[in-house]
Amino acid sequence: MKNVLDISSIEGNGYKGSYQLRIKRVIDILCCIVAIPVALPIFAIIAIAIKCDDGGPILYRSRRIGKGFSEFDMFKFRSMKVNAPDIRNSDGSTFNSSKDYRVTRVGRVLRETSLDEIAQLINVLLGDMSLIGPRAGDVESKDTYEEDEKDKTLVRPGISGYTQAYYRNNLGVREKRLYDAWYAHNVTFSLDVKILFKTISTVLKRENIYTNATNNTK
């Protein structure tokens, strides 16, 4: 793949292939059927930990952009304090720091292990998301997409994806969107498998967890 900064046009028709149109969804459903019962004890432990930490809601709903710019509620295990302010960087990306005062004690562990994301298995079952796919964008950013970024919405967003696995939080918003658009045009079973294993490696190595190195304490 070319350097993201050199991409002027994105070619390919991977999103029209039989894997993307039929097989990928079947794999998503089968994996969820297997994974959710196994993950239920983990869900229970996370839920108890969140409640014991600050007594607030267990799940957090975020309005996101899905396939074809459709909107849906994405689930996460709550990692921030209730009614925490939305703090953004200059490029519109979410402020994310190891010293973020908005994050709870349990939430910090969930974020660093990416366990907050596993609640999105619900979204996969509902058909809003896939196990592997582009990062789901915020609804507030819906009108900020440039023409060469819009193709990321040709496919369902994923719990993990190319940018999350290989860069995590180490790219700007435009770079992430361009890589996601590239993925949408080049999605294959073998690529998804590579992304899956790279995701596991990135999480275990705790790479590129935080976007910001500074403290946002009031």
User: pLDDT tens across 115-145, in order?
Assistant: 999 999 999 999 999 999 999 999 999 999 9
Q: What's this model's pTM, rounded to 2 decimal places?
A: 0.83
Asked whether the predicted pLDDT for residue 4 surpasses 70, the reply is: no
What would the mean pLDDT of 151-161 be, rounded to a whole number? 95
User: pLDDT tens across 7-19, in order?
Assistant: 444 455 566 788 9
59's tokens: 């799940």
Q: What percent of the chain has pLDDT over 70?
A: 86
Whole-angstrom distance, CA of residue 44 vs CA of residue 30: 22
What would the mean pLDDT of 78-106 be, rounded to a whole number? 82
The distance in angstroms from the start CA to the end CA of the chain is 42
List the domain boundaries for the chain: 4-205
